Chains A and B, each alone.
Chain A
Amino acid sequence: MAPAPTTERVHTPQLIPKMLEEYGTMTRQALREYLPSGAPRQHLYDLLSDYPERGGKMMRSSLCLATAGAFGGRREDALCSAVAIELLHNALLIHDDIEDESEERRGRPTLHLLHGIPLALNAGDTLSLLSLRPLLDNARHIGSRLAMRILKETERVAWESAEGQAMELGWRRDNCNGLHDADYLTMVLKKTCWLAIIHPSRVGALIGTRGGIDPEPFIRFGFFLGAAFQIQDDLLNLVADRRYGKELNGDICEGKRTLMLNHTYREASTEERRRLTEFLALSREQRTAEQVLWIRRLMDTYGSVDYARRIAHGLAGAALHEYEGIYGGLPDSRDKQFIRGMVTWVFERI
């Protein structure tokens, strides 16, 4: 019997969780040193440590450390940047949850539901300010010139994220429907890909090469991987699994213009589109569970879930292609395997 054709695989199941744990612990320990512990504890500093202590995947910071390592740098040199990335990420999560009126984050009620919007908003602001401290500390570890470069990179990612979030919020406020997939991908590029993949990769590579690399190719790689990641994230929102840590069908309830919702809208009949438009024009509290379930079934009827999954798989393939262009010539290492493994991991994670 002829041997079955083999496809190149990375050891995703073992390697990725192990390295996420390893790098996540390293970053979390460093991050705790930046969290203030004095007064006003109850109304501010306890809130700052809430989301970081809930145990996120630490994907962004791990990617930064791994990229620095893959390019021959020391992980310790990238640690301040990794901490800054996590702090900024958590700051944006607090604000996102308020803007999206989300109810759960990492398996627990969102910060604004626990403490009210004003305090949560203030905590988000403070956390984003706090993310500047490790960036200033960078100067001691990697030199002022490179530290300044990374500060500029951080300023860029903040802009990109704000623009992406504005696009999505604007669509919802103005009840824009029938959006094209290109609209969705452009929004995801800015809102998700930059902070999740592009920025950690660029910063890690700059540190690993002491500033001697053109960071532009990371935009392509990060876009494809980040978009696949976001689509999978949106898909996970439609399956019941408590480990996911968000409310089931929460995105539908929030009226998020996901790839699935846009596809369903495009495929729907005139009557169905009318009902969809009406639903999306309602405020979150006006939307009923029955309406949400109706839309969820409509997504199945029109194969929108499967459609989005296929798009995500295609984008992941493109990410692998771009990966080869950037990392292909580097010597093999755990860090390199980790980065490649992330492309398949985005579909296996919970």
Chain B
Amino acid sequence: MATITHKGSRAKKRRHAPKPTTLKNERLRRQDPARTGPIRNATTYLRDSRSWGGRTPGSTRPDAQKHTQGSTGSVDDVVTRGVKLGYKVIEDYLRQGQHTAAQTRKVSEKKESSKVGEREEILESVLRFYKDMTDLWIDGVGGIVRNPAFTSWLNGAVQRNGAAAPSREKEPGSVNGADGALAIEIVSKRRTQVTLDLRPYPGRYTPLVCALHAPNPKIPPLTKIAFRLDQRSRSPILQLKVPGRQPAALYTGVVIDKHTHEPRGTLCVRVLP
């Protein structure tokens, strides 16, 4: 019942700090474990059982600071403890991160009481970001994105699309997933002005622009235009790519309902010299 003391057992190893010289010269041979279940030793209930029966050289001293993590153990013990401890540390860390994220979300949901204002703020920040990028230029977008009819349309478009099922609960009366944040991605080496003009429309629809044409029929149209929904953020994105050799001109086109093909507005892109 007492602590296992036969040579080579795990308990024995735990009591001796490894000696480098021994490890170097002798091959370590470990006997089969003498037990198959936990040691329920009453002497260990109150304090370390090793302090009851004298010390061996290299063992933890009775005056050594006791830690719940223990100290040098067998190979398996240390490895297992290390892995368990590692998982505990990382899970605590992630839990803390989730808690912080939940708090942050609560704060942001409170702010949603003024959704239009928030949308404008997000769109303004998007606009600022683009204006700061060296090779990307947007002018004239501000007036569009601040238009309440437009942000309303955005939410409608997202709902109609059907792909925007929100993963979290919304406040009663609030509109769907995208929260109105429009991202505009323009890939252009040239200075480009974008104007989006949409008619007020009570229903919901998915927008589509096939091509933007210049007045001169010899100039190739802009065709890399797409409205799509970011699957992760649930935000609608207007993507526009202006090829490097595209002539400077005003390109215009009609925004239509993808399903009914009814016109809903216009999109104009001015590529400057």
By a beta-carbon cutoff of 8 Å, the part of chain A in contact with chain B is 136, 139-140, 143-145, 148, 178, 180-182, 185-186, 189, 211-212, 216, 219-220, 223-224, 227, 263, 265-270, 273, 300-304, 306-307, 310-315, 317-318
B79 lies within 8 A of A310 (CB): yes
Pick the interface stretch among B29-37, B80-88, B219-227, B246-254: B80-88
B134 on the interface (CB 8 Å rule)?
A: yes
**Which listed residue (A216, A273, A304, A315) contacts B86, Cβ 8 A?**
A315
Residues of A within 8 A of B185 (CB): 143-145
Q: How large is the interface on B (under 10, 10 to 19, 20 to 34, 35 or more residues)?
A: 35 or more
B165 on the interface (CB 8 Å rule)?
A: no
Instruction: Provide 10 A-B residue pairs closer than 8 Å at the C-beta atoms, listed in order of the A residue.
Output: A136-B133, A139-B136, A178-B65, A211-B232, A212-B231, A219-B93, A263-B71, A266-B64, A267-B60, A318-B86
A219 lies within 8 A of B71 (CB): no
Known contacts A181-B69, A269-B63, A301-B58; is-contact A311 B94 (Cβ 8 Å): no
- Taking CB atoms and an 8 Å cut-off, the chain B residues in 127-152 that contact chain A are 129-130, 133-136
Residues of A within 8 A of B90 (CB): 189, 219-220, 223-224
Residues of A within 8 A of B163 (CB): none
B72 lies within 8 A of A318 (CB): no
A263 lies within 8 A of B65 (CB): no
Known contacts A185-B85, A216-B94; is-contact A314 B129 (Cβ 8 Å): no
Known contacts A178-B65, A269-B64; is-contact A144 B17 (Cβ 8 Å): no
Residues of B within 8 A of A265 (CB): 65
Known contacts A180-B69, A212-B231, A266-B71; is-contact A223 B60 (Cβ 8 Å): no
In the assembled complex, the CB of A17 is this many whole angstroms from the nearest CB of chain B, namely: 27
A148 lies within 8 A of B78 (CB): no
Of chain B, the residue at the smallest CB distance from A310 is B78
Q: Which among B64, B78, B86, B130 has the greatest number of chain A C-beta atoms within 10 A?
A: B86
B89 lies within 8 A of A186 (CB): yes
**Which listed residue (B17, B67, B129, B135) contacts A301, Cβ 8 A?**
B17
B187 on the interface (CB 8 Å rule)?
A: yes
B83 lies within 8 A of A318 (CB): yes
Known contacts A143-B187, A144-B133, A266-B64; is-contact A315 B83 (Cβ 8 Å): yes
B133 lies within 8 A of A182 (CB): no
In the assembled complex, the CB of B76 is this many whole angstroms from the nearest CB of chain A, namely: 9
B69 lies within 8 A of A185 (CB): no
B237 on the interface (CB 8 Å rule)?
A: yes
A181 lies within 8 A of B85 (CB): yes
A303 lies within 8 A of B83 (CB): no
Known contacts A144-B129, A269-B63, A307-B78; is-contact A189 B69 (Cβ 8 Å): no
Q: Which among A178, A266, A313 has the greatest number of chain B C-beta atoms within 10 A?
A: A266
Of chain B, the residue at the smallest CB distance from A265 is B65
Known contacts A144-B185, A145-B183, A180-B69; is-contact A267 B89 (Cβ 8 Å): no
B60 lies within 8 A of A314 (CB): no
Residues of A within 8 A of B231 (CB): 212
**Which listed residue (B63, B79, B135, B237) contacts A314, Cβ 8 A?**
B79
Residues of B within 8 A of A302 (CB): 17, 58, 71-72
Residues of B within 8 A of A219 (CB): 90, 93-94
Roughly how many angstroms separate A83 CA and B231 CA in the complex, as a whole number?
29
In the assembled complex, the CB of B104 is this many whole angstroms from the nearest CB of chain A, namely: 13
In the assembled complex, the CB of A335 is this many whole angstroms from the nearest CB of chain B, namely: 23
Known: A182-B88, A219-B90. 6 other contacts (CB 8 A): A180-B67, A224-B90, A267-B17, A267-B71, A269-B64, A310-B82
In the assembled complex, the CB of A322 is this many whole angstroms from the nearest CB of chain B, namely: 9
A313 lies within 8 A of B129 (CB): no
Roughly how many angstroms separate A164 CA and B85 CA in the complex, as a whole number?
18
In the assembled complex, the CB of A168 is this many whole angstroms from the nearest CB of chain B, namely: 15
Roughly how many angstroms separate A302 CA and B75 CA in the complex, as a whole number?
14
Residues of B within 8 A of A317 (CB): 79, 83
Known contacts A139-B136, A266-B67, A273-B65; is-contact A315 B82 (Cβ 8 Å): yes
B8 on the interface (CB 8 Å rule)?
A: no
B162 on the interface (CB 8 Å rule)?
A: no
When each residue 46-69 of chain B gets 1 if its CB lies under 8 Å from chain A and 0 otherwise, what string results?
000000000000101101110101
When each residue 79-118 of chain B gets 1 if its CB lies under 8 Å from chain A and 0 otherwise, what string results?
1111101111110011000000000000000000000000
6 A-B pairs closest in CB distance:
A311-B82, A314-B79, A314-B82, A310-B78, A303-B18, A303-B17
Roughly how many angstroms separate A178 CA and B65 CA in the complex, as a whole number?
8
Residues of A within 8 A of B187 (CB): 143
Q: Which among A224, A267, A268, A270 has the greatest number of chain B C-beta atoms within 10 A?
A: A267
Of chain B, the residue at the smallest CB distance from A224 is B86
**Which listed residue (A189, A263, A306, A318) contacts B18, Cβ 8 A?**
A306
Of chain B, the residue at the smallest CB distance from A140 is B135
Roughly how many angstroms separate A307 CA and B88 CA in the complex, as a whole number?
19
Roughly how many angstroms separate A263 CA and B135 CA in the complex, as a whole number?
55
B64 lies within 8 A of A181 (CB): no
B237 lies within 8 A of A144 (CB): no
Known contacts A139-B133, A310-B78, A314-B79; is-contact A182 B237 (Cβ 8 Å): no
B20 on the interface (CB 8 Å rule)?
A: yes
Roughly how many angstroms separate A81 CA and B69 CA in the complex, as a whole number?
40
**Which listed residue (A136, A143, A227, A266) contacts B134, Cβ 8 A?**
A136
Roughly how many angstroms separate A186 CA and B86 CA in the complex, as a whole number?
9
Roughly how many angstroms separate A212 CA and B229 CA in the complex, as a whole number?
13
